[in-house]
Structure 1
Amino acid sequence: MNLIESLLSPTGRADPFPRYAEAHRLGPVLPITDTAFLVVGYAAVNEVLRNPGFGIPADPSSQPSLELMQRSILRANPPDHGRMRSLISQVFTPRRVAALQPAIETAVDDLLDGLPAEVDFMDRFAFQLPVTVICELLGVPASERQRFRPLASDLTAALELTDASDASADAAAQELGQYFAQLIRDPSADGLVSALVAACDAGDGRLSDEELLANLILLLVAGFETTTDLLGNGLAILLDQPDLTPAVRSDPGAFVEEVLRYDSPVQVTTRVARTEGLSAGGVSMPVGSDLILLLGAANRDPARFPEPDQFDPARTGNKPLSFGAGAHICLGNSLARLEATVAFTHLTERFPSITPASRPTRRDRLVLRGYQTLPIQLQLDRRYAPVADRRTPEQARNPSRSPDTSCRDADPRR
């Protein structure tokens, strides 16, 4: 079985990392055919991502879900990519993302307030937080949000490295298309939806109707899908190594960056050689060559990261390629990092003990790696408990000796 077949096998999808280590022993760029290559080295992957001579492969398939993605910034090449991205990127400037932090902190605390002692973290938190944030940005009503998780899961199945047509992906594309078509026509639509509709209606060629619809769907799905996986993958690491909790509290940003490197939500992307004279890792790439970039392998390249299979939040110069690089770097990468940093800070502060409740289940994917379920048991810090639950046994027996709650029992987040 070759490396690609091994990665696509059930065991390879469940645990690709031994295959990545094998690939690194063979070299940074591995030929599949004369015009197809597997790129696994950090420097080589970074080189391809940043070189404008490499572009997004055009998919000749008539599959609706893939056609939808081809019309969005995810799969567009210049000049269409730059034209669309310049419009959409205005909402993801560093200043605008930083201004979202108070709202994200409130959303995190509201979700944590509602968690029972035993809960599926993926369902009740990892999905709920990013879908709340992206829907607020888009102007999608709260009543509609719960329906998007299964639709996003079905739609992104089309990104996997298989040739099989996926009817569920096409059905999801159709349902999401119908939803946003209605939202676009709603005169009360707010947020980024209304801004992009205005750009489309301007008639200056910046955004077509088809591109508007495709990019709204992409923003919704990409806005929570990878962040959901980032949160789940990070918590799974904490469950396996609870001694890392002090590192989270001391530098949550570094912890999140190491999660991105160690167990990236996006493991694979693809490129095609569009111009003459290209190379990667010292290997020539003829025009039309197809490249499979293993981001997850690049993030565990021993030539770039010492002891790559060890989770170390204290790594220096830690710059994983999980969100890509170059012109197609993920627009929402800073937002995802901010959401995860706030989430892990508040989660570990409020719950000093987080333990597995039962066996988790991973999604059966290679490209987008994450958990379907992650059942956990939570022990609440007494500072966050209701006043009655914070009384000592003596105070419970003698209420007159209960503490004055006017100041000390105020919300410690303030």
Structure 2
Amino acid sequence: MKITLPDGSTAWLVTDFDAVRAGLADPRLSLSRANSTGGYTGFKLPPALDRNLLNLDPPDHTRLRKLVAGAFSGRQVSGMRDKIQATADRLLDGLTGTVDLMAAYAAPLPIITIGDLLGVPADRVEEFRGWTDAMMTTASRDAIASMYQFMLDLIAAKRTTPADDLISAMIEARDGAERLSEEELLSLAFLILLVGHENSVHLIANSILRLFDGPADTEELLRVANPNLHAIRRFPTEDVEIGGETIPKGQTVLLGIQAANESSTQHLTFGAGIHYCVGAPLARMELEIAVETLFRRFPHATLATDTLTWRESFRSRGLRELPVTLTS
């Protein structure tokens, strides 16, 4: 169906599970804005932040993904389990009574994790979180400009003083004679920091909320608690037929991830095809540790409000607060 978004732009929304799954893997549906002829095109980022995996098609997408995929392999992520577990335990230590689990637990756990992986100073990670929230709700230009300067300063610092972290590794990363250009390095580091915490914050909080209604395994939580309402916008490189509708070349297609999930016992939370989320193993581990640790330590925790406040965003479904009474 063709829809009008809150900013007045138009897009084609796809909600059928099979059609969304096929669309996610369809090479005719481009991520590059160069293939757009109008409608919704996503965030207006500075050019130096725009050359990231969510805006690129092969062969550039393939090359960049290969250079960073190793950091999120199953083996590498498994090696992070003890540190993530220690962070979860530390965040819950001393919590008692009624607390906002969004601020005290669901948000800081993935922020600390991705910040540690990338090498972001601990005292700056929460600041980046504030900019992210402003970007996702109001697309604030000030927040985006602050993120841009933050990443410039961070990469400059890593060049001067490299460390055992992902940004330092990306500065030196090569694939034969290929290495990341300055814009690719900046865009990729920005994307990993942004997506690496933004999605997990709300996945964890939404999952905790869902578990107050009864038990659910990890895959079920990924299906019903996914915060992303749709995948990153696509632009057909030719006229395409989806669900009996012909979508003209260059118009915007939104693949409705959450609607597709709700119509199936399966989920597409991490996407499909070549754009399947490179950080999926880490996000899944964070979710498992977060919910298991919380309900093991506080098995009788209860939701402390009948009125929840959700973030105003057509892009994602996330709570502002999660008041919970913690009782063991």
Q: Which TM-score tier does this pair reach, normalised by the shorter chain?
A: 0.7 to 0.9
- The 1:289/1:131 distance shift into structure 2, 3 A limit, reads same
| Alpha-carbon distance in structure 2 between the residues aligned to 1:323 and 1:355 | 29
Deviations 1:344-387 (A, max 9, x none): 1111111022123344321111212111211111002xxxxxxx
- The 1:68/1:195 distance shift into structure 2, 3 A limit, reads same
RMSD: 2.8
8 Å CA contact 2:49–2:187 kept in 1: the answer is yes
Which structure is higher in RCO with an 8 Å CA cutoff and minimum separation 6? 2
2:235 counterpart residue number: 272
2:279 counterpart residue number: 332
Q: Which has the larger radius of gyration?
A: 1
Match of 1:300 among 250, 256, 262: 262
| Alpha-carbon distance in structure 2 between the residues aligned to 1:185 and 1:99 | 26
1:263 counterpart residue number: 225
Counterpart of 1:84, as a letter, is L
| Alpha-carbon distance in structure 1 between the residues aligned to 2:194 and 2:277 | 13
Alignment of 1:301-380 (within 5 A): 301=263, 305=264, 318-358=265-305, 359-380=307-328
| Alpha-carbon distance in structure 1 between the residues aligned to 2:48 and 2:136 | 11
2:166 counterpart residue number: 192
- The 1:219/1:356 distance shift into structure 2, 3 A limit, reads same
2:262 is paired with a residue whose SS is coil
Deviations 1:68-100 (A, max 9, x none): 552111211111111111001111111212222
8 Å CA contact 1:323–1:329 kept in 2: the answer is yes
**Alignment pair present for 1:42 and 2:17:** yes
8 Å CA contact 2:3–2:12 kept in 1: the answer is no
Counterpart of 1:176, as a letter, is F
Counterpart of 1:146, as a letter, is E
- With the length of structure 1 as denominator, give the TM-score of the two structures: 0.70
Counterpart of 1:266, as a letter, is N
Counterpart of 2:127, as a letter, is R
Q: State, as a whole percentage, how many aligned pairs show the same letter.
A: 34
1:119 is paired with a residue whose SS is strand
| Alpha-carbon distance in structure 2 between the residues aligned to 1:192 and 1:89 | 11
Alignment of 1:135-150 (within 5 A): 135-150=115-130
Deviations 1:140-187 (A, max 9, x none): 2323222121022223447xxxxxx74234333333333323333331
> Which segments of 5 or more consecutive residues in structure 2 lack a partner in the other structure?
none
Alignment of 1:15-414 (within 5 A): 37-58=12-33, 65=45, 67-157=47-137, 166-199=140-173, 204-239=177-212, 241=213, 244=214, 247-248=215-216, 254=217, 256-269=218-231, 270-275=233-238, 278-301=240-263, 305=264, 318-358=265-305, 359-380=307-328
8 Å CA contact 1:261–1:322 kept in 2: the answer is yes
- Measured after TM superposition, the shift of residue 235 of structure 1 is 1.4
2:21 is paired with a residue whose SS is helix
1:118 is paired with a residue whose SS is strand
8 Å CA contact 1:266–1:296 kept in 2: the answer is yes
- The 1:354/1:68 distance shift into structure 2, 3 A limit, reads farther
| Alpha-carbon distance in structure 2 between the residues aligned to 1:324 and 1:67 | 25
- With the length of structure 2 as denominator, give the TM-score of the two structures: 0.87
- Measured after TM superposition, the shift of residue 210 of structure 1 is 1.0
8 Å CA contact 2:155–2:167 kept in 1: the answer is no
| Alpha-carbon distance in structure 1 between the residues aligned to 2:2 and 2:222 | 23
Deviations 1:265-293 (A, max 9, x none): 111121111246x4333544443242121
